[in-house]
Structure 1
Amino acid sequence: MSYPRLDINCTKIYFNTRTLINKLYKKRISITPVTKVFLGNPIITNVLINAGVNMIADSRVENIERIKLSGIKIPTMLIRTPMISQITNVLKYCNFSLNTEVSVIKKLSLEACKLDIKHGVIIMIELGDLREGVMPHQLFDFVNKIIKLPNIIIKGIGVNLACRYGVVPDKMKMSQLSELATSVENKFNIKLDIISGGNSASLYWAINNKNQTRVNNLRLGESIFLGCESLYQKPIKGLFTDAITLTAEVIESKIKPSLPWGERGCNAFGEKEDICDRGLVLQAIIALGRQDVSISGIKAPKGITIVSSTSDHLVVEAIKYPLFVGQKIKFELDYSGLLSSMSSPFIYKNFQNVKGFELLKK
């Protein structure tokens, strides 16, 4: 078996997906899984389809292309505003896209006419997190400019919160989104099918909401794959939080001083940390570095402390007993750890319990 290694339990991901579908169905909210952390992997996509989802989302056209070229026919949503340079592929592989620029939608319309296809757009609204979105007071003007564009269907509106500044998707924000949806429908005499209330950070609101709302869709990644909501980083009751783990191997284990000696400058990453003399320590080096994973996104098991990292090495200290060379250490992951490790070509991906999930290509 190769290391470092991600162990990906497909059964647990299936279970998490089914559980979230059932939880949110009671709230009349559908889920659209976001596959970007898995780079559009067809195995995971089929797990999600088997669990009952009706659409897949991703932020990269290349990932959606990978899904479609594998033979999977489920509708797909591009959740990053399309680049002008990728318009043709967006139309070829994505049924829907989130949009914030009139110029982009006009280009989508022009190319869609040439290809003789229709494309659904979801207009993203800016509600305070200051990432992407049309300002609310400019929404009518925005819709007015695109509503008659040929081969473009205004499918809905959506919001993204908590990604840049951590602005909370609360009752007030969701009410505002709902009111905007209703006002657009009344103003332009159209029906919006999708009112997308955000990502896994919106789960806390969705699960606890008891008020009437127009929000009927969430775009979920972290909650499905890691079993937690991203706003407060709390586990979601009934979900597996260990569906994906990272295992790496010890390549050195020695007793060393905790304090370096000699004149010090910056390290290889321009950092210069303050260090306390703690005497001799049980130090080990693990074959895992910043080129493999975001170190801040992994958590060592009890009894082991991560003390520093370089491009290729993770330096840890054992509290009671020394680690031994060749020992395998299993780490927990948060979203940044999962995203970075899945994107690394140096980490082996081990998909477990795949049988039964690879055949359904909805």
Structure 2
Amino acid sequence: MNLPRIDIDLAKIAHNVQQLKKLYGSKGIDIIGVTKVIGGNPIIADVLVQNGIEILADSRIANIIKMRRAGIRAQYLLLRTPALSQVENVVTHTNISLNSELEVLKKLSEYALKNHIIHKVVLMVELGDLREGIMPSEMDAIVKVVLKLKGLALVGIGTNLACFGGISPDEDKMNELSSIAIRLEEKFKITLAMVSGGNSANYKWFTSSKDVGRINSLRVGESIFLGREALCRKPILGLFTDIFTLMAEVIEAKRKPSQPYGTVYQNASGNTPRFKNKGFMDRAVLAIGTQDVVVSGITPKQEIIVLGATSDHMLIDNTKTSLRVGNTVAFNLNYSALLSVFCTPSIVKNTINQYECANIL
């Protein structure tokens, strides 16, 4: 099979989904499957849906269109708050969107009304991470306007934490979100079907809380695909953490100096590198580089050391393994590396341990 490639264990994905649904469902929380990290891959998305995921969430409309065209039957949620230039596609291709700007909401209403569509919206609340969200003090005024916008249905509120600012979705933050939901319901005589407390970083809060309040939804990607929570990156008991394996081929293996020689200027990345002189070493070059994967986010499974990478080549210390040309090196990936791999068309996506998926593609 062509290299580089990523091997994807579909049966392990199915297992993780089942376990997470059972875990969060024990306290009345539904999980939304986040597909952005797998580039909206329809085969993987189908595994999620067949194992009980009803809403698929992605930050790219192109990924949502890809899954729809492949016949994946689900509700589709746009994770990234819509741009004004996107409103037509948002209403046409998604069922739900996360919103924080009134100007955008008015345009969504305008297009939905024009096309006789009811588009569901979730208002995002800023609770300290300082990415997207309406300040709590402004929520009442925004809700008052949104409830009057025809073509839109306000179905919930949500928040995003532990992404930009690294702020923990702890008990205080979740209690605040619950309180905002209760106050809005009472003041405006409405029912919020979705109170979305966050993402895979909410695991620690969930396991330590006896009462989750009004939180009834989480947007989960990293826990499904990497088997861990996203606050401290600790594995979750009972989940697989080895679903994905990146494979790259050795295209050169030679004994060379450990330190470049000659006059040093900037390298291809614009950096001025410094290397320790360790004498001669067994070095190898792999046919993969920074345009394929976030190199800092991969960990070799063999006893090698990654020395660095350029756009198309990765350099490794091959002293302990003595790899030869044509051999392969296997890597584990973190979330950023996985995201980059699925955005790279030149990396083959190879599914193994086939789950009984619907007839798609």
TM-score grouping bracket, smaller chain normalisation: over 0.9
Report the secondary structure of 2:219's partner residue. strand
Task: Work out the percentage of aligned pairs sharing the same amino acid.
Answer: 46
Instruction: Say whether the 8 Å CA contact 1:168–1:231 is kept in structure 2.
Output: yes
Structure 1 residues 174 and 360: alpha-carbon distance in aligned structure 2, compared to 1, 3 A threshold: farther
What RMSD over aligned residues (CA atoms) do the two structures have, in Å?
1.3
Question: 1:59-102: per-residue Cα shift (whole Å, max 9, x none)?
Answer: 11111111112222311111111122121111111111000001
Out of 80-89 and 151-160, give the one that drifted further: 80-89
Q: Distance in 2 between matches of 1:218 and 1:359?
A: 29
**Cα offset for 1:212?**
4.0
Alignment of 1:3-82 (within 5 A): 3-82=3-82
Aligned residue runs from structure 1 range 320-331, under 5 A: 320-331=320-331
Rounded to whole Å, the distance in 2 between the matches of 1:207 and 1:327 is: 44
Paired with 1:268 and 1:349, the residues of 2 have a C-alpha distance of 28
Which letter maps to 1:216?
A: N
Distance, in Å, in 1 between the alignment partners of 2:274 and 2:181 is: 53
- Offset of residue 122 of structure 1: 0.3
Whether the 8 Å CA contact 1:49–1:360 is kept in 2: the answer is no
Question: Equivalences for 1:1-362 in 2 at 5 Å?
Answer: 1-354=1-354, 356-359=356-359
- Counterpart amino acid of residue 152 in structure 1: L
For 1:252, give the aligned amino acid: E
CA distance in 1 between counterparts of 2:136 and 2:91 reads 27
What amino acid does structure 2 have at the position aligned with 1:98? L
Higher mean Cα deviation, 300-309 or 323-332? 300-309
8 Å contact kept, 2:39–2:339: no
Give the AA of the match of 2:321.
Y
Tell me if structure 1 keeps the 8 A contact 2:235–2:241. yes
SS in 1 for 2:357: coil
- State the alpha-carbon separation in 2 of the partners of residues 220 and 271 from structure 1: 36
Runs of 4+ aligned residues of structure 1 deviating over 4 Å after TM superposition are: none
- Determine helix, strand or coil for the equivalent of 1:291: coil
What is the distance in 1 between the residues matched to 2:360 and 2:294?
A: 33
User: 2:302–2:321: 8 Å Cα contact kept in structure 1?
Assistant: no
**Deviation of the 1:323 alpha carbon:** 1.2
User: Unpaired segments of 5 or more residues in structure 1?
Assistant: none
**Secondary structure at 1:228's aligned position in 2?**
coil
Cα pair 1:306 1:316 within 8 Å, conserved: yes
Q: CA deviation at 1:358?
A: 2.6
Identify if the C-alpha distance between structure 1 residues 360 and 215 changes in structure 2 by more than 3 Å, giving closer, same or farther: farther
Asked whether the equivalents of residues 14 and 355 of structure 2 are also in contact (C-alpha less than 8 Å), the reply is: no
CA distance in 2, matches of 1:57, 1:192: 19
| 1:93-122 Cα distance to aligned partner (Å, 9 max, x none) | 111100000111111111111110101100
The offset of 1:41, in angstroms, is 1.8
Query: Matched residues in 2 for 1:239 and 1:38: separation?
Result: 18
Contact kept in structure 2, 1:282 and 1:321, CA below 8 Å: no
Q: 2:274 corresponds to which letter in structure 1?
A: D
Q: CA offsets, 1:244-302, max 9 Å, x none?
A: 11001011111111111111011011112322111111211111100100101110124
TM-score of the aligned structures, taking structure 2 as reference length: 0.97
2:296 counterpart SS class: helix
State the distance in 1 between where 2:175 and 2:15 align: 31
Question: What secondary structure sits across from 1:234 in the alignment?
Answer: coil
- What letter matches 1:300 in structure 2? P
How many residue pairs were aligned? 361
Structure 1 residue 52, shift from structure 2 partner: 0.8
Q: Deviations over 1:11-49 (max 9, x none)?
A: 110111111000101121110011112222221111001
Give SS of 1:253's match.
Answer: strand
Q: TM-score, length-normalised on structure 1?
A: 0.97
Q: Distance in 2 between matches of 1:355 and 1:299?
A: 27
Query: Matches of 1:117 and 1:342 in 2, distance apart?
Result: 32
